[in-house]
Chains A and B, each alone.
Chain A
Amino acid sequence: MGRIKKFRLFTGSMLVAAALASPVLQAQETAKFALFHDFTKVYTFVADEISQGQRDYVTLINEEGGIKGYKFEALVRDHGNEPQRGIELYNRAREEGVVYYNFFSTPVSNAIVPRALQDKVVLGMPLTGRADAIVGEVFPYVFPMMATYWSQAARILQYIEESEGGLKGKKIAYVHIDSPFGREPIPIVDKLSRQKSFELRTFAYPSPGNEQSAVWSDVRRYRPDHVILWGAGNAQLVSIREAVRNGIDPAKMLSVVWLTETDMKNVGERTAIGIKRAEVVKPGRDHPIIQRILDKVYKAGKGAGPEERVGSSYYNYGVADMVVTFEGVKLALEKFGPPLTSEKLKLGLEMIRDLDTQGFMPPVTITEQDHQGGGYARVSQWDGKAWVPVSDWAAAFQDVVWEQARESAAKFNQTK
């Protein structure tokens, strides 16, 4: 009897010891995020800043003690916008047990989508990749997380409708780079032009968009009421210069998210005062999250890049990507406990309801069906020094966006 008691005591104390030891063990757990970019080819205009924002937020979370005993490591590599290099990085990262992947390049993300679905790993695709991936039933492991290009285009049109008292009879020029990215929103603006009976004409300039003079004299002759700009990087600068040269009022121009402070400085701060853009994250340093980064990361000398960049539009997009992902991590660990896996992270992300970021982002709600996070965006205007919001966060014409997304996702499903 005594022996048995002793044995019980022994095993009991072992269990207690194990229970006590496990949080200590957990504290050493590291989860890896693959935050790959195209630093060298096409996305150079944005990769540096977004990557810096992502890494700084990861550092911030680690500095603040991690989440539920987890610390995080960001793997940062260059894939040069080449799918085959992206696939190599993906396979390598899979061997390292990465839980979250973000390639920040449309061609590479699109090549990874079928693999991520097959391997059941979370692929974050904010502001890149296929716009129909918002359909959670068809793309269970793909998370666009922020308003897609379709929702941005819809938001821009809604802004015009609100500020002009209707779209009916308006002439809208859609000027875009002739690439899949530039053509992507056309079905949405086209559908809305029929629904809202405004006149739409599309103007394509050849990629990479360094020469657009012929297109813009066409746009001038068309005499549009509003011009929607759909380009990125240097093409945007050329567009603005040509538009101004052709006497188009900058206040009538609205751009996709890819227009930043740097672009406005390069084109001349006072050249295009009044130009507007779609925005999915608040720019600037005037926010608790950015202040925390400045305090805990940059004061400690652990910043991932030059401090001047902190708070730029693209930098904040990088931070926002991580804010949403870490919320998913937190929810997943709270609900399911360690170890953190990609499958748990997927469920965690789908539990995000009205994520309150104190105005850094619109309220994000991700569900099993909706991987877009609600599709909120707003419009901001360049005042010569900074981007000033001229509208509230809103999700625009989501019925049209979702109809298009479901139709396109159904096609994807057929061929899978």
Chain B
Amino acid sequence: MFYRQSGIYHTRYEATRRLWPIPFERWQVGVILLLVLAAPFYLSALYLQSYLLPWLIWSAATLSLTLLMGVAGQLHFGYAAVMAIGAYSAIHLVRFGLPFEFAFLGAGLIAALIGCLFGAAALRVKGLYLVMATLAMQYLVDWLIINVPAISGGAHATLQAPSARILFFSLENDLVRYYFALAWAVLLTVFLLNVKRTSFGRALVAIRDKDYAASVIGVNPFRYKLLAFFTSSFLGGMSGAVLAFCFYRAVTPEQFSFNVSTQLVAMVLVGGLGSVIGAFLGAGFVLLAPMILTNIVAMLSDFGWLNVSVNLLSHLPLMIYGALILGFLLAEPLGLAKIYDNIRNYFLVWPFKHSRR
């Protein structure tokens, strides 16, 4: 119905290779882009600052992780540590006197180098064993941050993000922070959409499916596994810096603890491995569902429809949230992105039930 394909004839290779060959989808993307661009004008500060902004930043982080987990097939359970390295590096570099733009790049580079170091384990181990290696990274980085006051920022282990400028705009401004995070998320989205179509992306996919087979067809697993870790950690570190400067503005080790790593993995899995739209849906679900559920439950209680103790009231959203994750994954193990895809496929051939793809 919506996704009309009739009348679309590709007469040139460029046309077939477009990111969105169906006109309706181009419209969709355009409208969404306009909506988020105009968000500060119609959304209240509450929804902009505590829903949309963190959603964008976490989506960016999920996109960087899905490059590693979804596209290259390398499990990573210490991704919060990668983001922590980025966040702390960026803050320390800015405090050291570097302009924010360079500190931002530096944060990515430092995170990429350290990420590669642990990623090197991936050259020897796979699957659950790689999970263990990345877990070690999480705990080592946590330990280092807490135990080195020069990194953590003294006895309170809280480090304020210093005031900085991006190009000519001060990051003290709410709007600048929002647009910077938005730009970063859009950049990563475009990057990830395209990377799957490059030789680099195809090599990663080959490695994910079977690294022996990949090396038989001439893809060097050593090189590409390391590159996957490098790229993903680079982007993850920068996303961590965005998180520190645009959202938290004060970093503590707890913000990058193991729980956050599992949340990130959950974002990738619930969204759908390797999917771009899945990263947005997954991040949105894992990040926002607990907040929204808490508010709904609290509202029901305020109306007097839910007369239970505060303790149970606080745990109810968690129970519903858990049930929702289970429900979604039972209904569609390939994640929210697949649910969207099913809906899209249905409308693609509507009113018929099947057609040749």
- Taking Cβ atoms with an 8 Å cutoff, the residues of A that contact B are 37, 39-40, 48, 51, 76-78, 80-81, 83-85, 87-88, 90-92, 94-95, 106-107, 110-111, 113-115, 130-132, 178-180, 183-184, 186-187, 304-305, 404, 408, 411-412, 415-416
Contacts and interface: CB of A to CB of B under 8 A. Distances in A.
A408 B160 CA distance: 12
B249 interface: yes
16 contacts: A76-B310, A77-B298, A87-B50, A88-B291, A91-B46, A95-B44, A95-B45, A111-B255, A114-B160, A115-B249, A131-B156, A132-B156, A179-B253, A183-B155, A305-B310, A404-B155
Interface residues of B, number: 45
Nearest to B309: A305
Nearest to B312: A39
A304 B54 CA distance: 34
B146 A85 contact: no
B152 interface: yes
Nearest to A42: B254
B315 A130 contact: no
A94 B44 CA distance: 12
Contacts of A408: 154-156
B3 interface: no
Contact of B287 (A84, A91, A114): A84
Interface in B212-267: 247-250, 252-255
Contact of B250 (A77, A113, A184, A304): A113
Contacts of B310: 39, 48, 51, 76, 304-305
A203 B143 CA distance: 15
A416 B309 CA distance: 40
Contact of A80 (B143, B156, B290): B290
Contact of B146 (A40, A92, A115, A179): A179
A114 B249 contact: yes
B155 A131 contact: yes
Contact of A95 (B46, B153, B255, B313): B46
A291 B252 CA distance: 41
Contact of A110 (B95, B155, B250): B250
B54 to A, nearest CB: 5
Contacts of B163: 416
Given A39-B314, A84-B50, A84-B287, 9 more contacts: A77-B298, A85-B291, A106-B252, A115-B249, A132-B156, A179-B253, A180-B156, A183-B157, A416-B160
A91 B248 CA distance: 13
A180 B311 contact: no
A94 B49 CA distance: 12
Contacts of B156: 110, 130-132, 180, 184, 408
B57 to A, nearest CB: 10
A404 B314 CA distance: 37
A131 B250 CA distance: 16
Contacts of A411: 153-154
User: Which of B49, B146, B250 has the most CB atoms of chain A within a 10 A radius of its CB?
Assistant: B250
B158 interface: yes
B294 interface: yes
A121 B291 CA distance: 23
Contact of B160 (A51, A90, A183, A412): A412
B146 A183 contact: yes
User: Which of A106, A111, A115, A132 has the most CB atoms of chain B within a 10 A radius of its CB?
Assistant: A111
A171 B45 CA distance: 55
Contacts of A81: 254
User: Which of B143, B253, B254 has the most CB atoms of chain A within a 10 A radius of its CB?
Assistant: B254
What are the 4 A-B residue pairs with the smallest beta carbon separation, nearest first? A78-B314, A180-B157, A39-B314, A88-B50
B146 A178 contact: yes
Nearest to A305: B309
Contacts of B180: none
B333 interface: no
B51 interface: yes
A110 B160 CA distance: 10
Nearest to B159: A415
B255 A91 contact: no
B259 to A, nearest CB: 8
Contacts of B40: none
B155 A91 contact: no
A412 B157 CA distance: 12
A137 B242 CA distance: 30
A415 B162 contact: yes
A88 B51 contact: yes
Interface string B282-295: 00000100110011
User: Which of B143, B155, B310 has the most CB atoms of chain A within a 10 A radius of its CB?
Assistant: B155
Contacts of A95: 44-46
B329 interface: no
Contacts of A404: 155
User: Which of A39, A76, A78 has the most CB atoms of chain B within a 10 A radius of its CB?
Assistant: A78
User: Which of B95, B154, B298, B314 has the most CB atoms of chain A within a 10 A radius of its CB?
Assistant: B314
Given A39-B315, A77-B294, A183-B155, A111 B50 contact: no
B92 to A, nearest CB: 11
B318 interface: yes
Contacts of B95: 415
A180 B248 contact: no
Contacts of B159: 415
Given A76-B310, A113-B250, A92 B46 contact: yes
Contacts of B152: 180
Contacts of A416: 160, 163
Nearest to A304: B310
A91 B252 CA distance: 20
Contact of B248 (A76, A83, A186): A83
Nearest to A75: B298
Given A48-B311, A91-B49, A95-B46, A110 B154 contact: no
A40 B152 CA distance: 26
A180 B252 contact: yes
A187 B248 contact: no
A107 B252 CA distance: 7
Contacts of A106: 252, 254
Contacts of A110: 156, 158, 250, 252
A81 B143 CA distance: 20
Contacts of A94: 46
Given A39-B311, A113-B250, A114-B160, A83 B46 contact: no
Interface in B109-160: 143, 146-147, 152-160
A40 B44 contact: no
B146 A114 contact: no
A114 B245 CA distance: 12
Interface in B268-310: 287, 290-291, 294-295, 298, 309-310
